[in-house]
Amino acid sequence: MTAGEYKKLIDGALETCFKPFAAMPQEGLAEAMRYSLLAGGKRIRPMLVLEFCRISGGDINAALPVACAIEMLHTYSLIHDDLPCMDNDSLRRGKPTSHVVYGECTATLAGDALQAEAFGAILRSALPAERRADCAELLAGAAGLDGMCGGQYLDMLGEGKKLTEQELTEINSRKTGALLVAACQMGVAAAGGSERMLAAAGHYGASIGMAFQIRDDMLDVLSTDQELGKPVGSDAQENKNTYMALLGAEGCTETIEKLTDFAKNVLSEAFEDTAFLCDLADSLAQRKS
């Protein structure tokens, strides 16, 4: 499948989420959840789930709930990132952020509920029980203490301090990279793939995750609000630690190229049909938004 076909499949599945709550008392919460979940985005993480499932010999339709789950969890993280107590952003994907539209309390609950529903989507899927458990465990590890939340905490501790490249990488490998690693490995797990496949998928995810974060740091300096769909220049205004500040534009570009090459090469250790994932790594390295 092409990226466009994957996105259409994923968007169609996400569109059905939480609709049964439309006539219930908690309808407003479901509306806030759907607002952020359906606000757009590249759907990179669910796409990775489905493609790794496919090249591991699995059924992408059976893995679709797992793909939706990781997008729910990613969306929860964006809602919470944007809250006044965190980054206090008013624009996300070119639209007002959740707390701007629904208020801080509802936005917080929308994020909380999306995180819970992510695990529900996996555990209610038709995959064999062992594969459901493996996918849920991978997602929990990526989201929790040694994953995304732990990375956010370390990022908060680093505010106002000058961090080394190694310290910044410790943060971003959890804050950004962990969920991308999980997406790749959850696809393998949904297919019942081998340990060798899981390892290669993890290395690919970690490499594109780091490249993704470095590119993010570059775009915050080099892009525009319109291109990025959110305010640019906030990293410099808030004196945040970034790869642009540490390495400069040239150093960032060179590092992204090395990480992308490694990501593409490591796939051949366990998979045969890698063209889609190699093209995806290249496109992420060069993205404008």
**pLDDT at position 60:** 98
**pLDDT at position 234:** 66
Q: Look at residue 230 and tell me whether its pLDDT is greater than 60.
A: no
Task: Phi first, then psi: give them for residue 104, nearest 5 degrees.
Answer: -65, -40
Mean pLDDT, rounded, for 154-182: 93
Rounded CA separation 180/215 (Å) = 15
**pLDDT at position 237:** 60
The confidence band for 93, taking pLDDT boundaries of 50, 70 and 90, is confident
Rounded CA separation 169/120 (Å) = 31
Closest CA to 171 of 136, 203, 138, 217: 217
What proportion of the chain, given as a percentage, has pLDDT over 90?
84
CA trace torsion 183, 48, 212, 180 (10° rounding): 0
**pLDDT at position 289:** 81
**pLDDT at position 159:** 87
The confidence band for 229, taking pLDDT boundaries of 50, 70 and 90, is low
Chain centroid offset of residue 267 CA: 20
Say if residues 79 and 24 touch (Cβ distance below 8 Å).
no
Please write the tens of the pLDDT for every residue from 199-213: 999 999 999 999 999
Of 46-50, 94-98, 224-228, 270-274, the least confident = 224-228
CB atoms within 10 A of CB 51: 24
Looking at residue 173, the DSSP 8-state letter turns out to be: I
**pLDDT at position 66:** 98
Please write the tens of the pLDDT for every residue from 61-86: 999 999 999 999 999 999 999 999 99
Please write the tens of the pLDDT for every residue from 38-63: 998 899 999 999 999 999 999 999 99
Please write the tens of the pLDDT for every residue from 98-154: 999 999 999 999 999 999 999 999 999 999 999 999 999 999 999 999 999 999 999
Q: Look at residue 184 and tell me whether its pLDDT is greater than 90.
A: yes
Buried b (16+ CB within 10 A) or exposed e, 150-163: bbbebbeebeeeeb
Q: Which residues pair with 96 in a beta bridge?
A: 91
Q: What domains sit in the chain, N to C, each tagged with a CATH number?
A: 3-285 (1.10.600.10)
Say if residues 197 and 270 touch (Cβ distance below 8 Å).
yes
- The overall average pLDDT reported for the chain is 93
